[in-house]
Amino acid sequence: MSETPDAAVLLFDGDCAFCNGCVRWLLRHERRPRYQFAALQSDAAQPLLARFEVPPGDLGSVLVIDHGRLYRKTAAVLHLLPELRWPWPLLRVFVLVPRVLRDAVYDFVGARRYRWWGRATSCVIADPAWHSRVLTLPSSVS
C-alpha cells in the first residue's frame, strides 16, 4: 500500500516491544481498516518525516498523519480513539487534561519503554496478516 495525499498513517518505533504491542492492539480493536502503518525507522517513513520536519532518528513519539496534519504523542493517541470500537472512544475525555500534563506522562513512559517492555523481536508489520496495511514507498521513489 503506498501513501496517498489524504492517507491516514501511523508511524511508530518498530524496535519497541510496547509500541508493537500497541499497534497490534489497535489493529484488533479498530472499527474499520483505515490506517496504514510504518516503523519510524523504515524507508517508507522517511519522506513523511522529512515533509513534516521530524528529525531522522527521532523515535520518541508515535506519529499520526491524517489529512495532511501531523499529530504527536498524546494528540496522536487521542486522534486514534474515534477509530476504535466501543468503549475505547470514551477515553477521548482525556482531551480535557492539559496537553502539557498528558505529554509529561507520555514522555515518562516513553523514556522507560525499553527497560520495562524490552525491544521487539519482530515488527508487527512483518506479520503477513497486516501486509496490506503497510505503508510502502511509491514506485517512483523506490
DSSP label at 105? H
Q: Name residues whose C-beta falls within 8 Å of residue 7's C-beta, 6 or more positions apart in sequence.
A: 36, 65, 135
pLDDT at 105 over 90: yes
Predicted TM-score of the model (pTM) = 0.84
pLDDT digits (tens, 9 = 90+) for 12-45: 998 899 998 898 899 889 998 888 999 999 899 9
DSSP label at 64? E
Query: Mean of the pLDDT values across residues 50-71?
Result: 91
Per DSSP, the three-state class of 70 is strand
Higher-confidence position of 51 and 142: 51
pLDDT at 3 over 50: no
pLDDT at 95 over 50: yes
Q: Name residues whose C-beta falls within 8 Å of residue 99's C-beta, 6 or more positions apart in sequence.
A: 74, 75
Looking at 87-96, 105-114, 115-124, which range is the least confident one?
A: 115-124
Looking at 13-27, 74-88, 91-105, which range is the least confident one?
A: 13-27
Amino acid of residue 137: L
Q: Which cell goes with 32?
A: 474499520
